[in-house]
Amino acid sequence: MNNRLSKAITKAIRCGIPLALCVFGTAAVADDSDENPSRENPNPSQTLVPKAECGREDHPETGLQGQVPAALRAAGFKGFNCNLKLVAQSRNDGGNWQSAEFRNTRLEHGGDSHGGDNDDRERRSLHTCGYYGSASANVSPSTRNPATLGTRVVDLTDPNRPVLTGYLQSISMLDPWESLRVNEPRKLLVSDQGANGGGGPAVDIYDISQDCRFPQLLASVPIGTGQDGGPAAPVAPIGHEGAFAPDGLTYYIGDTTGKSYYAVDVTDPTQPKYIATFDMKTIGLAAHGLSVSDDGKRLYVDSPGLGSLANPVQNGFAILDVSQVQARAANPQIKLISTFLYTDGSVGQHTIPVTIKGRRYVIQVDEGGGGGIPGGGGSPWGQTCQAGITPFPTARIVDIDNEKNPKLVSKLVLEMNDPAKCAQVIPDIVGLTIFSYGTHYCSVDNRHNATTLACDEFNSGIRVFDIRNPERPKEIAYFNPAGVATPSGGSNHLSTGNWVAGGPDWCSAELHLDADARTLWTTCQDNGLLTLKFERGVWPFPESSTPPGMQN
């Protein structure tokens, strides 16, 4: 009898469960690391994530974990998959940096099974809608159809048949960059004016309450300029990133140009107005992505440092107290609580506050490796390797149960990111700049009870991890789409000059998990929208759930 089966039988006997009712398999039976979640990882910065075990009909990676070898790129990359199967695609001229999801639902009443006065109620989905951005017109090919610019709206109610229902072309939605967000309680879709990474002060708000397939514009307002009904900001924001407070009353702008975060009151979504600024330069840091605590009183904000090679240590995240903003105090002040900075990563991208087995964590995601981004102010990848630092960006899990003293728990390092393997990997990316391998955006199944982390990792594709033991995450599935032979006009992969015909894609947007359907959808820049289905019972786990609005 194998060790895993023996443990499962022992569990069943201890808990008084009839053995015939037990289900054995990768999704139901945990190994030693799951049973002992408090066991400390002795080297969280360098421990490699165990590889997924693939099925016979899969097309697994032929090189290192996360690698697309140079020979496959030259021949025209045909793609890899492991425990994830493509079920639908909507290429639609590609996409760029961000995606969002909304599920129109209704409460249905059933019979009362307990003889009381309360009806059993179940929430039923009417429509599931996906939204994703595309490249700005000023960096798109001149041959691109103006009617197809802007944020795409896709009906995903049937994950096997995505249906494009329209384009949003208000000023911010023409290129929301990384700011596109949905708030479930308020049923709002919002973006700021990203426009190729740094547009202007506008914020656009749409109502998606009636039919998410056809958003209705409520406001398009320049924030912090004195024209929005609020005070003028010290410096008007320049759009790039964004996040909602969970109650949907405050939207925050992440301004990389001004290195600041801005609070916007959206209590009246037809009249958004500026409230407050936190200037990261006052603490010697910069600004990028962000997330908000459940009570709206904390911001987890990124500082995108350039890496440790001859640069000051500025990369990581800060925890800010925004309780005065949440309470709508007069002249609200935003205060620093703590920082979590490190030398083995760069260009901090975004954060996700989660709870795992009752303990609080922040998942911090970089978009640059230990030496920065080559061509974007950083060192060449080979130079980073020589210093013994992970050359490509990763996600990491940080314990914040003591928010004044965050501590690293684990870093999700794939084989292609091992400095010892650089000689095998660097030939793959000769001639490329900016991004190649590594993370950009990640999502969880449920912020309140996170079991699963899914990440879009540029040339490494879509990767899914078991994080039930946050100290020892494990890979369970991946899908790396085939390269495309013709360019996608809405892709920033093309506009940066890094696109190669038949080469691997840039998978770079948030991911959206559905435990009931066993699916995941996201966008990759050349391939557009992809819907994938988990196979062989690897996901969901018995304790996994995907409530709307709880994945980022």
Mean pLDDT of the chain: 89
pLDDT in tens, 156-199: 999 999 999 999 999 999 999 999 999 999 999 999 999 999 99
pTM, full prediction: 0.90
Q: What is the DSSP string of 245-291?
A: -TTSSEEEEEETTTTEEEEEE-SSTTS-EEEEEEEGGGGT-----EE
pLDDT of residue 263: 98
Residue 325: helix, strand or coil by DSSP?
Answer: helix
Residue 17: pLDDT band (50, 70, 90) is very low
Q: Among residues 173, 170, 171, 135, which one has the least CA distance to residue 151?
A: 173
Tokens of 201: 């002060």
- Bridge partners (DSSP) of residue 80 are 480
Residue 39: pLDDT band (50, 70, 90) is low
pLDDT of residue 323: 98
Specify whether the CB–CB gap between 534 and 518 falls below 8 A. Answer: yes
pLDDT in tens, 457-482: 999 999 999 999 999 999 999 999 99
How long, in residues, is the chain? 552
Confidence check: pLDDT of 115 > 80: no
- Above pLDDT 70, what percent of the chain? 89
| More confident call, 484 vs 108 | 484
Q: Among residues 259, 279, 285, which one has the least CA distance to residue 333?
A: 279
pLDDT of residue 125: 60
| More confident call, 207 vs 307 | 207
From residue 270, give the alpha-carbon distance in Å to each of 168, 180, 218, 328: 17, 18, 5, 18
Place of tokens 């018995």: 542
The domain 64-107+115-534 is placed in CATH, from the list 2.130.10.10, 3.40.640.10, 3.40.50.150, 2.60.120.10, at 2.130.10.10
Tokens of 362: 């922040």
Residue 463: helix, strand or coil by DSSP?
Answer: strand
Tokens of 528: 């557009």
Q: 118-125: list long-range contacts, CB under 8 Å, 24+ apart.
A: 125/157
Half-sphere exposure of residue 465: CA atoms within 13 angstroms, side-chain side: 31
pLDDT in tens, 541-552: 999 999 999 999
Domain boundaries, the chain: 64-107+115-534
